[in-house]
Structure formats: structure tokens, C-alpha cells
Structure 1
Amino acid sequence: MDYKKKLRLSAFARILTFSITLLFTALSFAQINRVEPPFWYAGMNLSSVQIMFYGKNIGQYEVAVSNNVVIENIKKTENPNYVFVTIDTKNIAPTELTFSFKSKNKVVFTKNYSIKARRENSKFRKSYDSSDMIYLIMSDRFANGNPNNDSSPETIEKVNRNLPGGRHGGDIEGIINHLDYIKKLGATAVWCTPLCEDNDPNYSYHTYGQSDVYKIDPRYGTNEDYLRLSQELHERGMKNIMDYVTNHWGSQHWMIKDLPTHDWINQFDVYTETSHKRTTVHDIHASNSDYKTCFDGWFVKTMPDLNQKNPLVLNYLIQNAIWWIEYANLDGFRVDTYNYADPNAIAKWTKSITDEYPYFNIVGEISMRDQAQLSYWQKDSKIGAIQSFNSYLPTVMDFILSDELLSIFNEEDKTWEKGMMKVYDNFANDFLYPNPNNILVFAENHDTNRFNEIYKNDFKKYQMAMTLLATVRGIPQLYYGSEIGMAGDRNKGGDPDIRRDFPGGWNEDSNNAFTKEGRTETQNQYFDFTSKLFTWRKTNDAVHFGKMKHFIPENNVYVYFRYTDDKSVMVIINNNSKSQTIKTNRFAESIQNYQTGNDILSGKTIDLKNDIVIEGKSVLVLELK
């Protein structure tokens, strides 16, 4: 064969090879629309990874994988558009895998899949605890850092700041821009309401009806922006807490529109809403139908209820949560409607995450108003153990205390049922909790009426509430805007009124409360107090992990101590309108040999040998010397 002929054949072979490659690439693009998780990590405790491939009639193909990786299981469902492939990654170094999809033993198309390296010591990341103060942000309502992403061609609802329940344009960039402001408040962790895509046509701003749980909503930014938020927080010594939803997705979620299995969500013959009566989980007299309605019923019509009892669903949620921790370098979770999910399944979800990350904290939204019922849901609860139940949930939310804080400062009755006696009784039941330090304490959040609305911006009452949160056991949480006196009436204006835009978060705002110069005199009064209190809290181990000793309130005055072996803090809260005289000999067992107390708010020194006079509706936080 002459040289020219060889050259022509060689060129033809290259063209043919290139054409085949293009064909395979095109087929791959046409056949695979989604792969989730989009990649995984080497060296994980969860070494068996269930990878979901989605595409038109993809279930007709046989699946193989390169690099001698073991396929443990291939699950095909009644929907031919899904294949769930479980591989063993236990001994796999970071690498690129190739999945081959075959028909009659011939490769039709391939898909590359990355196994990436983890961060050093990722498994042992330190999470938030009672030394932290968490700042809760309503993501769409905090600050608009990038007006270019206010609306997106990828999502239905467009920005409309004039509509109270519409999208207003708050985003990740806006949060990053004001991290120094948050840090100055004394906050050490940030909890943003969900940031994953919510493609509901209306009221999508709260983002609890998610349509893609591997993707940040483009109106907030990108996945890379979220990773950058973590990096910016960590550079400031702060922590990133993701708001995670296990109970439901939004009706616009792409999988809801093409269910992998009929029982991927809980379905009834007719639409059935949850009863919200979550006591059925431990009620020994509960009917089966009531139990099913409570845990399988939908939260609302636009939020289909996920069936965590389906192993495919549960694995999907476990892997999605772990993927976000690794990818975004997260420091903790807050889990929405935690005890609406199937109890045993959500316990498995939680245990899988804490097995992977032993020091990772998760706080669950468990809105129970009884200490025994609330403690049932905390990890290693003796009450839960009565029914052989362990949620493995490290932290619960003290809704009982929150309810009390929204009423007690208007109660001056000197009775056993009103005022500070309610707070005393709440802490008197701490023996029910396996870990009282792992309880989230708060005065308000994005679902409650605004504290400053209820008390008509009475600054003294705000001081009492914040002082209590800063000095009792547990992890304090502050809701954005409280620190500048923001109010809002849910009864009149609905949810949007308790989720108002933070003043100064938008270029057109006339009042910029992010700066001292831009704040009003009243806003500075609130901010300065909050900053001083919680900045001090960062420095005092006694209120982080110390023991607590309290005394029965007298005349609506509550006195308690937080102490370690070498440090003690005495807190006095006077819930009377009139000043009160405190006889210190009553507290001798806690004052011991301490001579004076330095009030961290006023800077005054108090002689502990004499009676203490405290003004009406005021507080003293004394570091004992």
C-alpha cells in the first residue's frame, strides 16, 4: 500500500473515531438529563453510594463501571426513566469513573463520574454548640447584593418588592456583604432560611418548597456563591448552618413531575393534610389512622410529603445532606419540620449524618409545648427509650421558653403561674433532657410574631429577653432585625409582615441600619445593647458550659447563677415596673466568698455584702469577683 493511501485511510480512521465519539457524546447528552449526587468523595464512612441516573427510557440499558469498581446493586423502578446504581467506594482513591450503558452487550453511551478528595479532617469538623450565638436570616429579605440575579429565566416567579409575599431580591452576595455587621453583633454562626431552588409560581421567597435540592436558587446566586459564603464565614471565625428540609419538597420539583416510584411521596385517594397532632408518635392510645394522617399527610397542597420509609428516598436524602456538608464545608444543620417526617426514618437519616461526622450538630424544628414531649426527640432520651425510640437528634428547640418570652414581660401578677415563675418552671423540667446545653433558645423566629411588635418596642423588655437568652443554658438564636427594633404583626399582615426587608439592604432604602451613621437613635440603642451583651458572652465560659443554679422568683424577680469551678455569673431580672431590693444573704450558697460583682452592661461594681437595689423592668449581669 502506497504512502498516500495509508495517509488517506489514517485520516478516515481519525474522522470515524471522532464521529463515533461525538455520537456517543450526543447520545449521552440525550439519554442522561441528571446524575445525583453529581459527584462523590473518597474516604467516606458512607462508602456505598446510590447514584441516580435520569433520562428518557434509561432503564432499558445494562450498566457497568470502570476501574474495577464493584456495583453492589442496580435498582430499576416502574418508571423507565430512572436507574439507581449503588457502587462500593470504600477503597477508591480520588479518580474519574466511567459508567457504560449497554444494549445487547454493546456500549450505547457512557457517562463520566468524579470521586473527589475530601478536605483534611473533614470527618471531625467542629460544629456549633452552646458557646455560639446563631443569627437567623430570612434569605430573600436581608440584603440585595447582586440586583442582576433578582429574576432568572430558569425560575417562574420574578422580583416584585411591592408585593409583600413576593420575591424581594435578597441574596447570598447581600449576606456576604454584611457578615462584618453580623459578627459585630456577637454572632458566631449564621442560619439562612433555605437557599436551594424553589420554583413555585407564587410565594417562593421562603424557599421551603424546593424544586432542586442540589442547586442554589439562581435568584440567590450559584452553588459556588454558597461555597464562598462558607469561606467568608470561616475567615471570620464564624459557622455556616444550612436549613435542611426532609419532610417535603415543592410541587415544582422535577422528580415530583416524573416520580421514580408511586410511593416516592405519600399518597391518598383524596388530598389529605397532616393533622399536625404530633403527639401521636408516643401516644399509646393513638389510632393507626390518626398516626398515618399525622406523618403521611401533606404540610400544604404545594408541598408533597416525602415517603422516607421508601429506602430509595431515604438514601437520596442522606446522600444529599452529606454531599452539601462536604461540598459547601458546612458547620451544622437546622432541620425544618423535623418531627413531621416518619420517626424511624428520620432517626436513620440523622444517625447516618452523625456517624459520618461525630461532632456535627443538628437542631430539629420540634414545635412541642411540653418538656416531656420535646425531650422525647433529643438524642438518648430516657423518655423515648420507654418506647425503644432514639431520634439521634443532638439539639431541640425550646418552643416552650419562646412562647413564655412572648408573654411574660407583660405579666406582673405575683402568682405561681405568671411572669418569671413560668421561666423558672421551664428550667425546673430540664431533668427530662439528656443534654440541656443542646437546646436552642430564642425569643422569636420566622414563624412567630415579632417580639418588638408584641411589646410595642419597649426597650426594657427587649433587654430582659435578650439577657435571659444570653445567660441561660443552651444555644441562643437571634432573629434578623430584632437588634434594631424591627417589628411585624403576623395576625394582620401574615407571614410577610414578620419577614420584612432589612432597612439598608437595598440601594434605594433611605434608612441604612447596617451602619451606625445610617441607623436612627432608637436603632442604635437596640444594636449597641445587643452587640455589647453577645460580644461579652463570647468571652465567658460560665455561660457557655457552666452549671446553672436558680432560685424561686420572689415578687417577679428571677435570680440565677451560671458557674464553673473558677468563674461565676449572677443574673438578676426584675420583671416588676417598680424597683426591688434583693437581699443577698438568700443567695449565699452561690455567692460564696465572692465580694463584688461587675455589671457587664453598665460597668458598675456591686457590693455583694449589701442588699442590691434593681430598677423596675431591668437586668443585672454580674461577673463575680
Structure 2
Amino acid sequence: MNLFIKSKKLLRISLFLVCFLSIKCWSQIQKTEPPFWYAGMHNPELQILFYGKNIAENEVSVSNGIPIKSIQKTENPNYVFVTIDTKDLTSQELLFTFFKNKKVVFTQKYALKERKANSASRKSYDASDMIYLIMPDRFANGNPKNDNQKAMLEKADRDNPSGRHGGDIEGIIQNLDYIKELGATALWATPLCEDDDAQGSYHGYGQSDVYRIDPRYGTNEDYLKLSSELHQRDMKLIMDYVTNHWGAAHWMMNDLPTYDWLHQFPGYAQTNYRMTTQFDTNASKIDAKLCADGWFVQSMPDLNQSNPLVLNYLIQNAIWWIEYADLDGFRVDTYSYNDKKGIAKWTKAITDEYPNFNIVGEVWMQDQAQMAYWQKDSKIGAIQNFNSHLPSVMDFTLMDALAVVFNQNQSEWDKGLLRIYNNFTNDFLYPNSNNLLTFVENHDTNRFNEVYQKDFKKYQMAMSILATVRGIPQLYYGSEIGMAGNKSEGDGAIRQDFPGGWQGDSNNAFSKTGRTVEQQQFFDFTSKLFQWRKSNDAVHFGKMTHYVPENNVYVYFRFTDTKTVMVVVNNGLTSGKINPKRFQENIKNFKIGKDVLTGKQFELSSFFEVEKQSALIFELQ
């Protein structure tokens, strides 16, 4: 009996030691990034970050005879970067073995997954699309249960304009049919990855884990569901990607892989925001350094893309999301604040992997030549032997013009619609003007309907221009129901909750029966306009001919070999008589102009009238 009891005690002790040692071994791996990868990539090299206490004390091998190209250790013993060659490998489970003095310390499984069919040749967004931009926290709260998370610092506070309000991925999914009804074919959501800042985390640009969806928005699986639901509706998903900085709460910040993972001076120095120093031949070195290496704000540590480990980490993270979530494109935040050589390599690596993948960079400048410098194959950039490889930039000069011209009703040399005309006279600077992102507002600007005090006629003129000029139009959530907001009152004012997105909202603008008369007026016009645009290739990729505005009336044509669209915008305070003979170069033998919104037909053989502060869009017949 005593022997039996001793045997049971020994067994319990053995089991305890096995469990303890197992826990101790496995706990040495706290992070593996990317968490898994895909077989059959264009670039077969995969660099895996392993993180754990003193993990660099070990040597590493991998199963199946797969060659390790390099094992890179840094001054921080808690990191090991292992690069393997995945060429010709099929989907499988790999086993990494960490050993010391020829004895196995622990092992780590790693999955190579199968790519989706034709993944590399995926079609991206282009000028045939209309992009709908939302701030997820302010759009719709589909799952109130995830508003607060015990492990996350900031809790929901809808009364705080700068707080989290509870919008989430489920809320987006529930309202995709509303977005589609508007004529939108692509969705751009501001960042959804985890942002664990103690305050202001709702905007998502200070990310704390770039492989994880913020649990207050949902799960990674919810993001996959959003992608799938969009694709089922023949719509596209654009991720807002941040290469320039992370948040101060990012898991690496308390234990950096290398000192120069971040730009340090040492420590913090704020950017001077002078992006011209990136190409100014007269710029001082310190000014150029402060622009590219300075931190955007103190809570957003600035990443050093000139460090090969950082750059490769960002490249692989971006590619991982494309594969994992079946993405259709990127919008890149603060593109021109990055190390320009590093960001060019990042962009090229992605477009080498996905030749049709569109990426639009935020290059917030007020000069077309300066913006054109950043577009792929720019002749301006070539002067300095620079090619960003960036397919698209945002047309901020057009936005700037649209924000003032409709309050300039008199015909002057450089004001009113002449300013819109002049914007397009500089299109020759761009390598591809069709691939510019056009917009009247976004999440960082004054709201259009605030600037113009919800003047419906001015909204009509602006949207008519946006829908018919070259480029990819983007609509900011709420424009279509007349939402306003003054940026001088804080970012919360331009990022208000969409009415009807929360239980108990008295006004539900997602529903026709719930909209006010004013909201319905804005919605009907917007929906009809962009639904028409979806099927007209003349305004997608057609050529453009425009005529110098007279009496604040701007006329231009978009045309292909088979279709012609004529646009007449009258920003004057009186109705205008249009003489078709002036535009014979484009009218040619067409007899009738059919208004795409009303169906009314206009004879093109004689003068016709366009009302004050209005726009006409004709399909010529």
C-alpha cells in the first residue's frame, strides 16, 4: 500500500514537472510575426520575427530540409529574425526547433497556407469605381456587446466627441446595402487594427498591434466576413494602411528590437510637416531630416523605413493582410512623411507581388507638380532619379478649389469656376491623371456642407463635377444626407455619428422612412448620380476637353469613340444662355443632349438655358 502511494506521488510530481517545463518552454515564444504565411509568393523569401525572453541565446533550425537563408539577431536578446526560402514549397506545417548546446529547448509550429486562386492577378479599384469613406467608430454600432473590452484602455463614451462611440464591423456589414444603393463600388474604412491608446483611439492611426483587428470593432474573422460580404455585392475593400508610424502603446515600444527601429534624436522630435524638403534642392539637411524623421505627434512613434528589418516587417505585414483578408487596394496614410527611398521599396514590393493592385498615397500638398512628384513614373521625380512606384495620389488641389469656388459667383480672372478649370490645365504633370483620387472632403477636413451651409445647389454642382471629371471619386460618409461639421471645433465635429447607427437614435438616415425631407433630397440626388456613373465608361476612362469658363459657366466633355458626355456648370447668380456652336469641336453631329438625372432632352442646334447655380450632365445622342 505504501509503495502504491509513493508511486502515485512520483507520478503526480512527474506530470507537474512535464507541465511546468512545457509551459516554461512554450512561454519563451510570446510573438511570431507574421503569424503564418502563404506558399507560392512571387518573392519566396520570408522573414519571421520570433519574440520571447532571451530567445536569441538559442540556435534555430527548420523541418523538411528547408533552407534558412539567414538568422539575424540584434542588440535585444528577446528577438530573432529568421529568413527562409519558400520557393517551390506547397502549403504545409513547418516546425522550427530552437536548441542550445545541441539540446532542444523548445519548438514552434508555423503554417504555410494555400493562396486563393489567381491571388496575384487580383483586380483593384480604378476610375470606374466610387469609393465610400467611413470612420468605423462613428458609422454604426452593430454589436453593442463589444463596445468595451476589459483588456483595452479606452472605454466607450458617446458623449465625448473625441471618445470611442461604439461603431464596429458588424455595423458596417448591416449597412452595406445602403452604401451600395448610393452607387459606391468600394469601401475605404479608416484603420481597424488595434489601437490601445488611452484616449483618442477611435481614429485608429496609432496602432498597437498591426496583425489584429481592434476587439472593439470585432475580430479578424469579422474583417474577413466584411471582405466576403462586399465581394458578394461586387464591391471592393480598401485598407487604410499606416507605414509612417505606430502608436505609443504598440507592443514593441517597451522592448524595441533595435534602437533604430524608430527615428530617435535621441527620443522625440516632432516633424516640421514641410514635405517640400523631400525634393527641395535648396533645403537644409536638418529641415529635411525633421520632416521625414520627426514624429507626426508625440503619441505616434516614427518608424525608420531605412532600417531593413523595419521595412521588411512592413512589407510582409501589408502582403499578409492582402492575402488574409482578400483586399482590393490600399490607401496609405501620410505617405510623403516616410523615408522616401524606403517607402518606394515598400510600394514596389507590393506591386511586384500584385501587378494590378492600386495604392493611393496621402500626399497633402497644394501644388500639382509637388503631388505629381510622388506618382509612379513621374518625370518630375525622374529629375532626381526618384520613382515612388505609387500608382495614385490624392487630388488635394481639386478639393481646395471645390471648397471655395461656389462662393465666388462673379466671373474673375482666377476665381470661381476658372479655378476648377485651372486645376485640370496641370494634368500634363501627372503620369496618370485617371488614377488620381478626387474628393470634396474627408475625415481630416472641414465638411463640405459646413462650408456651404447645406446649400443643396452648391452640393449638386460639386458632386456633378466629382462624378464626371477624371479620377476616382471618393465620398465621405454623411455627405449624401447633408451632414456638416466645423473642423475648428475639433475633429469630433467632422466625425459625427451617422444618424440611425445606434439603438435609440431618433433619426435613422439609413432608411428612407427614417430620413428627413432634407436628408432624402441629398440622398436621392447622390444615389441617382453615382448609380448612373457606374455604367458610363466615358467618365471612367474617356478623354477630356474643356473650355475656358465664361460668365462663371464651365463646359467640358468626357468622351470615348462610342460615347460622349457633356457637362455644363453655371455658378453664376443668373441663368445662362449656352451657344452650342462654341462647342462644335465636341458636339460634332450629335443632335440631342439627354439630361442623365431628369431625362429631359435639349436640342443642340440652338441656344439652350442653364439655370443659375446648377449643373447639367448630358449624354449626347
Equivalences for residues 335-374 of structure 1 within 5 A? 335-374=332-371
Instruction: From 178, 182, 199, give the equivalent of 1:181.
Output: 178
Specify the alignment match of 1:90 in structure 2. 87
* Cα displacement (A) at 1:269: 3.4
Partner SS state of residue 577, structure 1? coil
Alignment of 1:524-539 (within 5 A): 524-539=520-535
For 1:254, give the aligned amino acid.
Answer: W
Is residue 520 from structure 1 mapped to residue 516 from structure 2 by the alignment?
Answer: yes
Task: Give distance in 2, aligned partners of 1:381 and 1:622.
Answer: 34
Deviation at 1:287, TM superposition (A): 1.1
The letter of the residue matching 1:122 is: S
Is the aligned partner of 1:49 residue 2:41? Answer: no
SS where residue 256 of structure 1 aligns? coil
8 Å Cα contact 2:26/2:106 also seen in 1: no
**Cα displacement string for residues 293-341 of structure 1 (whole angstroms, at most 9, x for unaligned residues):** 1100000000000000000000000000000000000000000000100
Q: Alpha-carbon deviation of 1:368? A: 1.1
Output the amino acid matched with 2:620: L
Residue 157 of structure 1 is matched in structure 2 by 154
Q: Secondary structure at the match of 1:522?
A: helix
1:481 to 465, 478, 481: 478
Matches within 5 A, 1:72-83: 72-83=69-80
- What is the alpha-carbon distance in structure 2 between the residues aligned to residue 36 and residue 270 of structure 1? 26
Alignment match, 2:504:
508
Does 2:583 align with 1:587?
A: yes
Q: TM-score, normalised by structure 2?
A: 0.97
Is residue 72–residue 88 contact of structure 1 (8 Å, CA) maintained in 2?
yes
What is the alpha-carbon distance in structure 1 between the residues aligned to residue 35 and residue 616 of structure 2? 54
| 8 Å Cα contact 2:576-2:612 kept in structure 1 | yes
Work out the CA distance in 2 between the residues paired with 1:161 and 1:462. 29
Deviation, structure 1 residue 412: 1.5
Encode CA deviations 1:249-303: one digit per residue, 9 max, x unaligned: 0000001121000000000136311011011111111111111111000000000
Aligned with 2:239 (options 242, 258, 267): 242
2: CA distance between counterparts of 1:102 and 1:531?
Answer: 62
Q: How far does residue 23 in structure 1 lie from its aligned partner after superposition? A: 5.7
Which amino acid in structure 1 is aligned with residue 529 of structure 2?
L
Measure the CA separation in 1 of the matches of 2:385 and 2:18.
57
Taking the aligned partners of 2:47 and 2:191, their CA distance within structure 1 comes to 24
Aligned to 1:6: none
1:449-464 equivalences under 5 Å are 449-464=446-461
Contact 1:402 / 1:442 at 8 angstroms: preserved in 2? yes
- Unpaired runs of 5+ residues, structure 2, are 1-7
Q: How far apart in 2 are the matches of 1:471 and 1:16?
A: 77
Aligned residues: 614
Task: Judge conservation of contact 1:597–1:623 (CA < 8 Å) in 2.
Answer: yes
* Alignment check: 8 A CA contact 2:190 2:204 kept: yes
Amino acid at match of 1:570: M
- The structure 2 residue matched to 1:609, chosen from 605, 613, 616, is 605
Is it true that 1:401 corresponds to 2:398 in the alignment?
A: yes
Deviates more, 1:280-289 or 1:319-328: 280-289
Tell me the secondary structure at the aligned position of residue 254 of structure 2: helix
> Post-superposition shift, 1:91?
1.5
Secondary structure of 1:477 counterpart: strand
Q: Does the Cα contact within 8 Å between 1:76 and 1:84 map onto a contact in 2?
A: yes
TM-score (norm 1): 0.97
**Deviation of the 1:183 alpha carbon:** 0.1
SS in 1 for 2:512: coil
Task: Tell me how far apart the structure 2 counterparts of residues 415 and 237 of structure 1 sit (CA, whole Å).
Answer: 45
What pairs up with 1:130-141 in 2 under 5 angstroms?
Answer: 130-141=127-138
Question: Percent identity among equivalent residues?
Answer: 65
Q: Given that residues 27 and 108 in structure 1 are in contact (C-alpha distance below 8 angstroms), is that contact kept between their aligned partners in structure 2?
A: no
8 Å contact 2:410–2:572 — kept in the other structure?
A: no
Distance change (3 Å), C-alpha of 1:48 and 1:270: closer
Q: Show the counterpart of 1:565.
A: 561
1:308 aligns with 2:309: no
Structure 1: how far apart are the matches of 2:368 and 2:187? 27
8 Å contact kept, 2:129–2:473: yes
Contact residue 61 and residue 102 of structure 1 kept, 8 A: yes
Q: 1:492-526 deviations in whole A, cap 9, x for unaligned?
A: x2100000000000011000000000000000000
Partner Cα separation in structure 2 for residue 619 and residue 348 of structure 1? 44
Deviation, 1:613, is 0.3
Deviation at 1:414, TM superposition (A): 1.1
Once the two structures are TM-superposed, the CA of residue 125 in structure 1 deviates from its matched residue by: 0.3
- Give matches, 1:69-468, under 5 Å: 69-269=66-266, 271-468=268-465
Give the equivalent residue in structure 2 for 1:66: 63
CA distance in 2 between partners of 1:231 and 1:423 (Å): 39
Q: Secondary structure at the match of 2:322?
A: helix
Cα 1:506–1:545 change in 2 (3 A) is same
Residue 546 of structure 1 and its aligned partner are, at CA, apart by: 0.5
- 1:417 Cα deviation after fit: 1.0
- Write out the 4+ residue segments of structure 1 that deviate beyond 4 Å after TM superposition: 14-24
Alignment gaps of 5+ in structure 1:
1-10
What's 1:495 paired with? 491
CA distance in 2, matches of 1:296, 1:539: 45
Looking at structure 1, the residues matched to 65 and 484 of structure 2 have their Cα atoms a distance apart, in angstroms, of 61
2:96 partner SS: strand
CA contact (8 A) 1:24 1:108 kept: no
Aligned to 2:3: none
Q: 2:35 aligns with which of 16, 33, 38?
A: 38
In structure 2, C-alpha distance between the alignment counterparts of 1:431 and 1:490, rounded to whole Å: 33
Q: 1:111 to 1:18 in 2, by over 3 A?
A: farther
Give the superposition deviation at 1:29: 2.5
RMSD between aligned residues: 1.6
